[in-house]
Structure 1
């Protein structure tokens, strides 16, 4: 049974358990811990049209703030789309007393499980949970079912200057492109390289090579820049051969009826190759 919230009579009663209610949309304030900063207008419009036609299937989640007001816990896209659809009330699960750190975690998990969260937004959410709510990297990894190295790699990309992060976002570059640029400690060089990647659709591997060359220009003299280059190229060629050899071997194993899984994770000091031979 859905209850209709009465307004404006304040309700100071603490809810001992979540309760499904219809509440005025104008009485809901946004979640201050919402990690998503950008919402695609086209997907919101599609969702608003769906809500207009068949209604809101999954309720949002809020907590009571007193004086007849509520604070959003989860469901900002649904709330925004409901506003666009012209609804005055919305179906919501109303929670009792909830700690801020729990709300921040719920908001992050919901966004990770739904529409793709941009890697900078995800990293900023991790940083907020650590800085503002006392989480450790180990606790975050455990709560999110991720490796600690994944959390650490996400946090590292926040070291990039704000203008560089903005340029990366506007150019739709990948997280691996962003991590490659971390080796350059020159903002001007980073911005030039971002523009080059955007215009020429440069791959991550090519970006890493360009970063290596740029480092030689910035920190090495002309002679030292020339000498190591063949060795760097040779090492990169050998690396590609090694990885390709492993992949070809796995294909042969798969051809013999054994299911295999291969995963490649690029880290700061190495690349981790994970190989699984499935028993069933």
Structure 2
């Protein structure tokens, strides 16, 4: 019944009502996190006033795939709407993914982590350079590079930043620390003390100025002596073990041969 009804819709570029269940999610959707509170507010608004801005979709086989408007679609489904107003557009995969990212950026629906991940996804999926991406999104190349730099932080660090309610400038300050382990410790302190960006930057500078513990020196001579003593004990036990030593400018190569049958 639903498929039969879908066949009656024509791709004319005008607004039509489509079954909400027949609209597939956009695989290139950059937004991954939806506020339950904001979604509930939108659901109540839709129940009172309906959907004021149509969703953008494209035809995919016998169904339709969402281009833009996932939050509206989710809220409409929660509101119990069986059909939603849609603008049917003719777009290929690249245009659809780009449109989804641009709309979210323009509406400021993405947090800075999702924005960076969306940009990276776009570049990887379509083999875009930073320059091509900047041109497609209407941003400078340096802005794109700065967003991508945030993804040098590990996934666990990014999640901790989001959960702690830290800003993009906090994240940039954390990039100065060399390891994710140090960043996670710093985030715990920053969140616990409610540090501002300026205070966070001073705190991290202080961490970087702390003297690092010296690396333990390896006593190669003592190791070789212990090895020779162990080899001598093997030989004294009657096992014909043979040692061969070769030195280069950068290393000592030791080869010890012991018969399997002793």
Aligned pair 1:75/2:94, yes or no? no
Separation in 2, partners of 1:116, 1:89 = 24
CA offsets, 1:231-268, max 9 Å, x none?
A: xxxxxxxxxxxxxxxxxxxxxxxxxxxxxxxxxxxxxx
Per the alignment, in what secondary structure is the counterpart of residue 193 of structure 1?
A: helix
Shift of 1:149: 1.0
Partner of 1:205: 198
Query: 1:52 and 2:47 equivalent?
Result: yes
Find runs of 4+ consecutive structure 1 residues off by over 6 angstroms.
none
Unaligned runs of 5+ in 1: 1-5, 222-280
Aligned to 2:147: 154
Structure 2 match to 1:104 = 97
* Count of residue pairs brought into register by the alignment: 213
- State the shift of 1:140 in Å: 2.1
* Residue 80 of structure 2: aligned partner: 86
Residue equivalent to 2:21: 26
* 2:120 pairs with one of 109, 113, 127: 127
Higher alpha-carbon Rg: 2
Deviations 1:64-112 (A, max 9, x none): 1122x1110000011011001100011101123x221111111111111
**Helix, strand or coil at the partner of 1:8:** helix
Post-superposition offset of 1:181: 0.9
Question: What residue ranges of structure 2 are gaps of 5+ in the alignment?
Answer: 215-262
Q: 1:39 aligns with which of 31, 34, 40?
A: 34
Aligned to 2:232: none
Q: How far apart in 1 are the matches of 2:10 and 2:85?
A: 19
RMSD value over aligned CA atoms? 2.0
- Given that 2:18 and 2:83 are in contact with CA atoms closer than 8 Å, whether structure 1 keeps it comes out as yes
TM-score (norm 2): 0.76
* Residues 1:193 and 2:190 aligned together: no
What's the TM-score, normalizing by structure 1?
Answer: 0.71
Structure 2: how far apart are the matches of 1:194 and 1:173? 9
Distance of 1:218 and 1:132 partners within structure 2: 43
Matched residue SS, 1:93: strand
